[in-house]
Structures are given as structure tokens and as C-alpha cells.
Structure 1
Amino acid sequence: MASLWEVSFVVNYHTLYKVKHYNRVHRRLFTNFNRGQNSRWITRLGDSKNNTYRCDLIACASLLQTCKDVRSINQVHAQVFIAGLYQNIFLGSKLVNMYAMYSSMDYGRQVFDRMPDRDVCLWNVLIRGYARNGPCEEALALYYQMQEHGVQPDKFTFPFVLKACAELSALQQGKKIHEDIVGRWFEKDIYVGNSLVAMYAKCGKIDIAREVFNKMSERDVVSWTALIDGLAQNGNDSEALILFDQMVESGFEPNQVTLLCVLQACGRLGALQQGEWIHDKIIQRGLLSNVKISNSLVAMYAKCGNVRVARQLFDSMSRTDLVSWNSMIAGYSQNGHASEALELFQQMQLANVRPCSLTMVSLLQSCAHLIDLGKGECIHAYVVRSGFLSDIVLTTALVNMYAKCGNIASARDLFAIMPRRNEVCWNAIIAGHVHNGEYNEALTFFNQMQLTDVKPNHVTMIGILPACAHLASLNQGKVIHGYIIKSGLESDVLIGNSIIDMYNKCGSLCSSREMFNKMFQRDVVSWNTIISGYGIHGRGEDALALFSQMQQTDIKPDFITFICVLSACSHAGLVEKGWKYFECMDLEYGITPNSQHYACIVDLLGRAGYLDAAKHFIEKMPGKPGASVWGALLGACRIHHNILLGEWVAEHLFHLEPDKAAHHVLLSNIYAAAGRWGNVSKIRTLMKVKGIKRSPGCSLIHVNNKIHSFIVGDTSHPQSVQIYEMLRTLTREMENAGYVPSTNLVLHDVEEEVKEHMLYSYSHSEKLAIAFGLISTSPGMPITIIKNLRVCIDCHDATKFISKIVNREIILRDSNRFHHFKDGSCSCRDYW
């Protein structure tokens, strides 16, 4: 009894006979057959003496070549079945091949299974179909089944089977098949050799791929391309370009696949010059009209930073597709041309090209760069309407966009509803919280990530270490450092630099230096970070010694190096040395000073009391001084109580940054130090009229892995009673030791006029934090405090007394630098 599957072909057969085209072809073939024109085909294709059988055989074979879809193949298949040709091995191979060509492997497999006799060609056709269309596991299973049926593979079998191994990354099976190839003496066949190279490369065994390549007695352009592509796909782009040069020198002309591989490698490496050479080759060979080639050129130029040429190429393309638009939009986005990316997207919509999830990712990156929340929300709405929200890459881009635009709540909401999360998602939410200053929350997410199956990677570490640094969370930083060591990530230069910075900002300079010394490889950032660390800790001479060591290496200082060096000189009062390094910037290293370098020199001179020299230096600066330069001089005026110069400097600052609270507060402090309370009141009134609000002073301290924060006069802490009792006790002991409160300044975090009793009763945030640290930690333990503003004179003096009374080291990090208080003195030597 015929199956339903066979009946369907009978029905299709009757439909086929209604087609005039088939009848016409059938009559023509029959006529030619009678004339003897197909005798060669008859001899090869049919073993029956019946002319009708042979004519039907030829007709069906010819009709199969005209099929354009599965439906038309089905119709011819019906004729094959009705004509009794379904067991013919030639037609069977043709049918299987056609079904495979149109990805209809189920039909192809049923044809194959009904064949009574199967030769190696028929097995190869089905194996090739599965290797190309999947599932690739079936291709490998068939390879072993054919041998069980007594059919031995030939040299045409192995390329298909090796392709299946490559797609599955089935290295072990690939190696076994390689052994079969050697045993059957097919290893020297160029097609088999090419397939072996490609298989090993795609399985990540590039060394074995190279070994096979080197052993090949004969090579063609496919051989070279397979290894070039393998090198590029395994992160060896430089080697891929070197091999490409060797290929050209050997006289092989690259094909389109080679050019695509090499252009991608050039883009990833930023190898613009070689990319331009390949561009010339493409023009010479007339391949610029190929859309894939043109798209790769656009992407290469964009990744190399030359978006102007990329756009020229894009505009000159006679035909574009979605990849073309995506390449150009991504190029704009990745090179900081966010506005152009959004404008091009509008043109894309006018061209009726439907965007995909990759388009949305690039646009969201542009919105994040522009901090344009409105456009980002519009794209989010489009993503929801288009059903793209299930795309993990796109959702991660949305999380990143909301975080960069300051809407961390929406970023958290999106992250919470994600059905699955990879390390990129976790990295985005952690980095987003760090970007928004929510460092404690970033650490919370990091701890949650460790409870999942997703393992933190080097990007996670680089993202979370700044959170520890900002919070001065030394214990948490050490735990993360331990995780980095266990994970084998410590050798990563970027991670090493982040660890140095973390220890610097957590007050552990010795740990920072130890990490620096352990690094096998250093870059300019490594040196800059350690020099900066010594500078902010007041160790100017040590910072300069490190700079001298750097000069003995192959790493050249950059403009940031000199900012670190000059800042270190400023904090340590090394005026002559600072001036010397400033002068050598341009003379020895060709680095033109910018506003940050000029600000460092003004600060260097001003702190040391050379206010007139600082003013003269500003007046001779090339170009107009920026706010950082004037701000450095105003800070010096506050230190040295120079009212007239301070007023003159403040006028410039109020013009440049009229709404910045810090400038008003500094001038107010200058007036307060001189007892000019009327002027203080005017400054405060001016600030209220302008709506200028200064940041309230806040101090943080870590106790038992928990952050405790305090503001001036804070009584909200659960242990507030004990804290104030400790402050009263300390105040009595300090007064007995000779401490006299300083009441001549309007402090940053006090709203009303300074009154002496406020220094004891309500107190400043750093004093509250110190008192809490004393009652909450073991005797003798160092106490580390972080303050968001510059420490005031009174708190600085008081902390020196406290360190001696309680016999503890107190480390205070303010907005400018570190102060290490010990035995009644400070590491800054009161020069701050």
C-alpha cells in the first residue's frame, strides 16, 4: 500500500501533466531520442531497453535542473514515482541534491532511505546536504553508517565530513577522521588538505592547521584563505596579514573570500595603510560593485577611524543592503559621531530599509554617547514594537543606554526582566552603577553575579575595581584581587592598572607598589597610575624617582604623565623641580602643555606662596586661561589670605562658570578668614538668588563590610548617642593637650555662620566618622575616612590631636589628596 508521502507525489504528478511546459520538454526529448541525439545519455543513465523508460529518465533529470523551489521539485518527483524511476540511483542522487540545495533535508533523506542500492556518490550527496544545511551531527552519523554498509568513503566524502566537524567544533572526531584520511592516502589531495586546515582552524587549533598547511605538497588560493581566515578568527589578525603578504609574494591572486577575511583583520587591527592597499587591488580587479566587498571596505575604514572615506564609499555604492547601512551607522557610532549616526538612520528609514537589532544597538550607543534619553526612549519603544526585546545584545545595549543617560532605575528594571543574562549583561549593570556613583550597589550586583553560573571576566574586574576605589573599600578590593589571582587574570595589563589605582585610592600605597613591581608587562598607564598614587599621598620625591625609572624604559611619557608629575611636585612643594619638568615637556618630549599642565604650575607656585609669579604666569599663557587655571590661583589666595587677588580671580571664574558653587565658597572662605562677614553674607545671598547649591559635606567609613555615611550635625545614625559622647570625650582630651578650635572660616558643609559650639556639638562629618570608627573597631586598628570635599583646617588640626590621643593611624582621603595622621602629625606636613 502506498504511503501518504507517495500519494502526495501522485497528486503532484497529475498537476504536472497539466503544465504545457513539461509536455513540450517531454515531446522534444522523445523526438531527440528517436533521432539518436541522446544515445550517450541513454547508455550512461539507463540500463533498460525500453525507450520510454530512458526518455522519461532524461526528461526528469533535465526538468530537475529547471526547478526553482521545493514545490517544483515535488512535481518532478511525482513524475519519477509514476514512471517507476524512483529506484534509479542517478535520479535519486539528483533529487537528494536538489532537495539539499533548497534546504529540504527531510524529503532528501526519504528519497535516500528508499533507494535499494546506494553508491558512494549518493552517500556523499546526502552527507554534503547535512553538512551545509544541518544538523551536522547527521553528516557525521552517515559517514560511519556508509562504512557499516560496506561503502568506503572517497576523497569527495572527507571535505563534507570535515566541514561538519568544523561547524560542530568536534575536534576529537575531526582528529579521528584525519587518521582515516592518512590511512587511505588522501592527505595529499588538495581539497582534503584545505578542509583539514579549515576544520582545525575553526576548532581553535591554529597550530595544527598551520602544520597541515606547511605539509601540503600543493596549495591553491583556498588553502591560503583557509589559514588566513583561521588566524583572523582566532584573534591572530597580525599573523593573518603577514600570511596574506606571503600569499601575494608567492604569486597567488586573492579571491573574494580572501579579501573579505583580510579586510576584517585590517579593521580590527586599525591597519589603515594595508586596508588602503587592498582597496586599490579591489578597484584594479573591478570588484567594487560586489556588495559584500564594498560593505567590508566601509566597515574597515570605519573601524580604522576614517569615517570620511567610509561615507564616501557608502554614498558611491550603486546598490546597498541592510549590512551597508549597519556598517556605516556603526562606524559613526564607534568613532564618536553619534549625531551623524542618528541622522543616517533617518535616511535609512526614508530609503525603506527595515532596521535589525544590530542597527538598534548602534543607535543606542549613539544615544548613550550624546546622553540623549529622549531619543533612547524612542528607540526603546521601537524595539518593543518590533519584537526585538528578546535579543540579549539589544537589551544589554538598552541597559547601558539608560545607565549612561543617568536613568539607572530604568536600567535596573530592564535588567530584572531579562530572561537570561550573560557576562556582558552583568558587566553593563555593574558599570552603569559605577558610572552613576552608586558604588555600593555595583558591589551588590557583583556579589549577586558570583552566585550565578555566569563567571566574572576581565571586563567585570575592570568595571568593579573603581567601585572599591571610590569607596576606599580596601577589604572588598583585596577579596576581588584574590579572585583575580585565582582566575588567572592578574597578568592582564588593564586589570593590573585598575588594581594599582584601587590600592592607591584605598590608602594602601605599599600594596599598590607591590602590584606594580609584580607586573610582567607595563604600559604608560601603569607608570602614570603609580606616579599619581605617590603624588596624592604626598610622596613627591618618590613619585619623581619613579618618573626617572620610567625614563630609563622604552615607554615614553605622555601628557597625563606630566600632569601626574607636576601634581606630585605641587603637593610636596617641589617648586624648582616642578618648573624644570614643565620646561622639558616640549623641549625633550615634544608635548605641548595644555590647560591642565598650566593649572598644575599655577597650583605649584600658588601653594608655595608665589602668588605674583602665578599671576604673571597666567598673564603670559598662550590663549585664554580656563577655569581650572583660575581655580588653582583662587585656592592659593584662600591658603595665603590674599583678598584683593582673590576678588580679581573670582571675577574671571564667575564669568567662566557663573553657577559653580565651589568658586563662591572659596571666595566666601577668604572673606570669612579676614572677618569680613558682610561680604560673606553677600556671597551667600548671591548664591541663593542664582539658585546655586553646594554639595553637602559627607564622610564615609567602612566597618564590618558595611558603609556608614555622615553629614554635618548628623543624628540619624543608630549609634548617634555613643558617637557624640565619644566626641565630647575627645574634645576634652584635645583641649587638655592644647587644641584650640579654628572658628575663622566658613566651612564647606556649614550653612550658618561659624559658631564655636557647633564644632563640638553638631560637628563635621569627618569628626563623626572618626568617632564612630573609634567605638566600632578594635584598639590600634587604622581608620580610613573618605570625604567628598576638601578637609577644613579645624578638622585637620583636630585629627592630628586625635591620632596621638588614641594612638591610631587615621587615613583621610578628601577631594584633593590623602592625609595620613599618626602620632599627632600629618603626612602632608600641613602643606595642603
Structure 2
Amino acid sequence: MAGLGEDDFIANRILSLCADPNRGCIDHAQRLLEQIRHSTPCILNTMMKALLLHRRHARVGDVYRHMLLRGISPDNYTFPYLLKACIPLRQDFRPGQQVHGHVLQLGLDLDIFVGNTLLHWYSACGDIVAARRVFDEIPQRDVAAWTALICGHARGGDVVGARELFDRAPRGRDCGVWGAMVSGYVQNNCFKEGLALFREMQLEKVEPDEGVLVAALTACARLGALDLGAWIHRHLGRARLGPTVRLWTALVDMYFKCGEPERAAEVFNEMPQRDVVAWNAMITGSANLGDGLRALGLLAQMMRRGFTPDETTFLAVLTACSHAGLVEDGLRLFRRMKVDHEIELSGEHYACVAGFLARAGLVEEAQEVVAAMPASCPASEEAAAWRGLLSATWRLDTRANFCSLDQLDGTHSGGYSTLSNTYRFSGHHRVADQIKIEMRRRGVVKTPGCSCVEVNGKVHEFVAGDEAHLEMDKIHDVLGGLTRHHTETMIQIH
């Protein structure tokens, strides 16, 4: 060890080996650093990188303090590592702002690598104003700078601002800017726009990366665009980009949501590697189809193969039990989650159990489950549980006496509608009308229903009450014809 202090190159190489997140040992790297007599910026930067790769973000700051105490001047590689370590700690702005202050003191704010990382940090923190200020001060903006700012706007829900930047950005055939905008659309539920830009990307012959393809598959899943999703599947076989676990999982999800469970199972069975997210996609897909027995079988198979189920896994299986009416299996699983698997129960788990108990006619037991929700559950989750319980029982003669508007969340339209329907079904029409009046008084607007259909590779979206579709007249003619045909057929039958 003592000889390492005399050879920076060897010390740096050994630290790099220790940095490997799969085969390296970060504690050994720490001990090695303590033995090095004369640290250099290069060696300390390598140590910061090792800590980042091992997700020891808080300890990156310790190395930086060690650097300053030794009188070693940080360089333009130091601050990107330091700022990346601040991103998981973004609830506290102070560490990142202090780093920005050091950058300004050393005159490194004009460096492209440091500037881009500052931009990324402010964007990740949601401070788009500061991010824009950093962006404007970068003398020569590269693709990474434009990409980071587009991502920042999209992450904050400003899709319009993100698109304005995208239209100004130098794009060419670089995937970064295109990918940021496609993903930004999908993150903000603008699925049609995301797929339209993905198609434009294909016409410009820009090769998509994993992130773009996952975003496009997510959009296909949400819109039911099976043809395009299947085309992406075929494209993976021809593309240089190898199929990753993330891509395979997105394919499984897409096929399930597009109504092709057999193809989803084929993709899942062909996966060379799987992780918990992949298993969750398969279980969730089965759950949404109401195949409770299959979901339970997949859970057992998953655990036999050494995978540890997480909160999402159990929520999916509980949902499957709810859809399939497997009350006993669902209750048994719910009781085992914390005891056998050390899973922290969330409001969603309680809501799911309350829902299938209520649908089985066990309304009092369902109420007890919701009432037992821990105080740590957010109020929004508790309100969602009461709404779910009410939705499951509104046709029963419960008189809706177990919850109020306040418990249902007075800003959510679903609570008003379900509570009103409950009273109306039980004959309390005046109370039902009063609930609707209160909904309007509070300015709560019901989100209109929406459906999509894919015809010849093009997705058509229909929103309740909207007559804007270009072929609406033809659609009404066809619907009228179907209605007349149905009426004539029923007359002949009778």
C-alpha cells in the first residue's frame, strides 16, 4: 500500500476497479484512499465517481471536503460528480447552491461540462428559472444543454415550453433532443403527440435509443396502438440496439394493454433476463384481465426463482384477487405481506382489500379495513380508499352512511358522482341532487371520458361531448345505421 502513494496512475487504476458497481468494493477503495500520501484531483475525482456508482451520495461531499482541507484545487471533472451526488438530496437546495457558489468562485461556470451539470441539477430540483439562467450563460451550448432544459420543462409539466425549446434546438440526427421531447410528451400524458413526434423522428432517420423506444411503447400501450407497438417489436430485431430488460418489459406491458395477452406471455417467456419490474408487468397484466389464479401462480413462480416481490407486486396480485373474487386468497396475502415479506402497507393496499371485501358483500369488514389505515398514509390515499369502497357498494342498500364528501376528497369529481349515484339508487333523489349542486358550487369539473381506436396504423381519439373529429358526420351515419339495424332485428325477433 505504501508504494501506491508514489504512483498516481496505479492508485487511480485500482480505485477505478473498486468503483465497479458489480465487482468492486467501495470500502476497500476508501481504505486505499487513506493510504495514498499525495492525493491528486484525478484520484479524488475517481473516488467520487466510485461513490456515485455505489449510490453513496452523501459520502461524495466528504471526499470534496477532504480535497479542500488538503489544499487540492477541484477541476471541471470534480463539480459534475459533486452535483450529481446532490440530485438525490434535492429536497434540500443548500448543498447544490453551495457547489454553484464554489463553481463561480473558481471561474468554472463557463465550462460546458460544469454548466450542463448545473443545468441538470436545477432542472431535477424543479427550479426551471435558475436552470434557464444557467442555460443562457453557457457560451457554446451543446446537445446535452438543450436536452437537459427540455427535460426540465417537461418534468415540470410545461410541455408547451419544452416544445418551443425543441423547435429552436439544433437537432440533426442526434437522438438526445428528440428523445427528451418524445419522453416529455409521454410523461405528461400527451401520447398522440409523442407518437407523432416518434414517427417524425423515423422520417428524419434518427436512430432511437432505449429511452425513446420505451416511451413510444408506453404511448402505444395507453392508446391501444397495437400496429405501431408490434412494428417497434420487429424493429428491435433489426436494430443495433440489443433488447434490454427495460425494453422487454415495455413490450410485455404494451401487448397486455393492447389486448394481446398471449403475445405478452411469449415475450416474457423469451426474456433472457428478468427483474422484479418485468415480473410485476406480467402479474399486473394478468390482474387487469381478471386472471387471479394466474397472478397468484406467477407470484409463487417469481419467489421460487429467487426474486423478492415488492409493494407493486403485492398490489397487482391483490388487484387480481379483487377482479377474480378470490377473497380468501387476497386476505391471506394481505396478512402475510408485512409479517413474511416486511412490506410496508400503503393506502393503495388497504383500498384494494376494502374493495374486494365490499364487492363480496362484506361491507362492515371493508369499513374496518379502511378505518385501520395508519396515520402515515396520505389523506389522498385514504380518500381514494373511501371512494373505492363507496364505488363497490353504491348498488347495495347501505344508505351511504359510512362516509362523507370530506372523506372522499372534495376536489375529486369521482366522489361526488359515486355518492350522488348511491343516494339516488336508494331513493334519496333530493340528497343526490344536492350533492350535484354542491359539486358545481365548489367548481369541481368531471373529467370527460375518452377512448381511442387504431385504424390502419392511425390512432383516433374520441372525448365525450366533443364533435371535433373530421369524419364525425360519417361516424354518426354509421352509428345511425347500426341503431336502425338493431331495432329492426329486435322487432323481427319479437
Same fold (TM over 0.5): yes
Alignment of 1:553-702 (within 5 A): 553-623=305-375, 625-626=377-378, 627-641=380-394, 646=400, 648-654=402-408, 657-702=409-454
Equivalence for 1:96: none
User: Residues 252 and 324 (structure 1 numbering): CA distance in 2 closer, same or farther, change over 3 Å?
Assistant: closer
Aligned residue among 250, 275, 282 for 2:33: 282
User: Tell me, what secondary structure is at the counterpart of 2:403?
Assistant: helix
User: Tell me, what secondary structure is at the counterpart of 2:93?
Assistant: helix
Distance 2:204 2:465 in 1: 42
Residue identity in the other structure for 1:712:
A
User: Tell me, what secondary structure is at the counterpart of 1:682?
Assistant: helix
Deviation at 1:675, TM superposition (A): 4.5
Distance 2:427 2:117 in 1: 58
Residue identity in the other structure for 1:296:
T
Aligned 8 A contact 1:259 1:278 in 2: no
Equivalence for 2:206: 454
Aligned 8 A contact 2:192 2:219 in 1: yes
Deviation at 1:694, TM superposition (A): 2.4
Q: Which is further off, 328-337 or 400-409?
A: 328-337
Structure 1 position 401 matched with structure 2 position 174: no
Aligned 8 A contact 1:371 1:405 in 2: yes
Distance 1:265 1:594 in 2: 40
The TM-score with structure 2 as length reference comes to 0.87
Aligned residue among 124, 133, 137 for 1:369: 124
Structure 1 position 328 matched with structure 2 position 86: no
Distance 1:349 1:645 in 2: 65
User: Residues 414 and 689 (structure 1 numbering): CA distance in 2 closer, same or farther, change over 3 Å?
Assistant: same
Q: Report percent identity of matched pairs.
A: 27
List alignment gaps of at least 5 residues for structure 1: 1-247, 740-804, 806-832
Deviation at 1:381, TM superposition (A): 2.6
Residue identity in the other structure for 2:112:
S
Residue identity in the other structure for 2:384:
G
Distance 2:161 2:393 in 1: 48
Equivalence for 1:293: 43
Give per-residue Cα distances to partners, 1:476-513, cap 9 Å, x unaligned.
10111110122265642111111000111111111111
Residue identity in the other structure for 1:526:
A
Residue identity in the other structure for 2:41:
V
Aligned 8 A contact 1:559 1:591 in 2: yes
Distance 1:308 1:488 in 2: 38
Distance 2:116 2:44 in 1: 22
Distance 2:240 2:186 in 1: 24
Give per-residue Cα distances to partners, 1:336-366, cap 9 Å, x unaligned.
5572454224422563533222233223333
Aligned 8 A contact 1:423 1:455 in 2: yes
Deviation at 1:475, TM superposition (A): 0.6
Q: Which is further off, 329-338 or 530-539?
A: 329-338
Deviation at 1:562, TM superposition (A): 0.9
Alignment of 1:664-743 (within 5 A): 664-731=416-483
Deviation at 1:465, TM superposition (A): 0.9
User: Residues 667 and 260 (structure 1 numbering): CA distance in 2 closer, same or farther, change over 3 Å?
Assistant: farther
Ranked by relative contact order (alpha carbons within 8 Å, sequence separation 6 or more), the top structure is: 2
Equivalence for 2:13: 261
Deviation at 1:607, TM superposition (A): 2.2
Distance 2:414 2:450 in 1: 15
User: Residues 691 and 262 (structure 1 numbering): CA distance in 2 closer, same or farther, change over 3 Å?
Assistant: farther
Aligned 8 A contact 1:338 1:370 in 2: no
Deviation at 1:335, TM superposition (A): 5.8
User: Tell me, what secondary structure is at the counterpart of 1:269?
Assistant: coil
Distance 2:217 2:93 in 1: 32
Equivalence for 1:191: none
User: Residues 488 and 321 (structure 1 numbering): CA distance in 2 closer, same or farther, change over 3 Å?
Assistant: closer
Aligned 8 A contact 2:355 2:392 in 1: no
Distance 2:112 2:421 in 1: 55
User: Tell me, what secondary structure is at the counterpart of 2:451?
Assistant: strand
User: Residues 307 and 616 (structure 1 numbering): CA distance in 2 closer, same or farther, change over 3 Å?
Assistant: same
Distance 1:648 1:623 in 2: 19
Distance 1:403 1:297 in 2: 33
Equivalence for 1:220: none
User: Tell me, what secondary structure is at the counterpart of 1:649?
Assistant: coil
Distance 1:451 1:430 in 2: 15
User: Tell me, what secondary structure is at the counterpart of 1:556?
Assistant: coil
Deviation at 1:423, TM superposition (A): 2.1
User: Tell me, what secondary structure is at the counterpart of 2:404?
Assistant: helix
Distance 1:453 1:712 in 2: 37
Equivalence for 1:304: 54
Distance 1:448 1:648 in 2: 53
Equivalence for 2:268: 516
Give per-residue Cα distances to partners, 1:695-714, cap 9 Å, x unaligned.
11222212222222223344
User: Tell me, what secondary structure is at the counterpart of 1:507?
Assistant: coil
Deviation at 1:470, TM superposition (A): 1.1
Distance 2:36 2:3 in 1: 14
Equivalence for 2:181: 429
- Structure 1 runs (4+) deviating above 6 angstroms are 735-739
Aligned residue among 139, 143, 166 for 1:392: 143
Equivalence for 1:347: 101
User: Residues 616 and 659 (structure 1 numbering): CA distance in 2 closer, same or farther, change over 3 Å?
Assistant: same
Distance 1:304 1:477 in 2: 35
Give per-residue Cα distances to partners, 1:103-141, cap 9 Å, x unaligned.
xxxxxxxxxxxxxxxxxxxxxxxxxxxxxxxxxxxxxxx
Give per-residue Cα distances to partners, 1:773-805, cap 9 Å, x unaligned.
xxxxxxxxxxxxxxxxxxxxxxxxxxxxxxxx9
Deviation at 1:421, TM superposition (A): 4.1
Alignment of 1:734-753 (within 5 A): none
Residue identity in the other structure for 1:649:
C
Alignment of 1:796-807 (within 5 A): none
Equivalence for 1:495: 247
Aligned residue among 527, 532, 535 for 2:287: 535
Aligned 8 A contact 2:325 2:356 in 1: yes
Distance 2:338 2:440 in 1: 45
User: Tell me, what secondary structure is at the counterpart of 1:693?
Assistant: coil
Residue identity in the other structure for 1:572:
A
Give 1 or 2 for the bigger CA radius of gyration.
1
Aligned 8 A contact 1:668 1:683 in 2: yes
User: Tell me, what secondary structure is at the counterpart of 1:321?
Assistant: coil
User: Residues 571 and 365 (structure 1 numbering): CA distance in 2 closer, same or farther, change over 3 Å?
Assistant: farther
User: Tell me, what secondary structure is at the counterpart of 2:343?
Assistant: coil
Aligned 8 A contact 1:388 1:394 in 2: no
Distance 2:399 2:458 in 1: 45
Residue identity in the other structure for 1:359:
V
Deviation at 1:543, TM superposition (A): 1.8
Distance 2:18 2:282 in 1: 34
Deviation at 1:580, TM superposition (A): 1.4
Distance 1:635 1:736 in 2: 40
Distance 2:425 2:224 in 1: 32
Equivalence for 1:382: 137
Aligned 8 A contact 1:634 1:646 in 2: no
Aligned 8 A contact 1:659 1:692 in 2: yes
How many residue pairs were aligned?
483
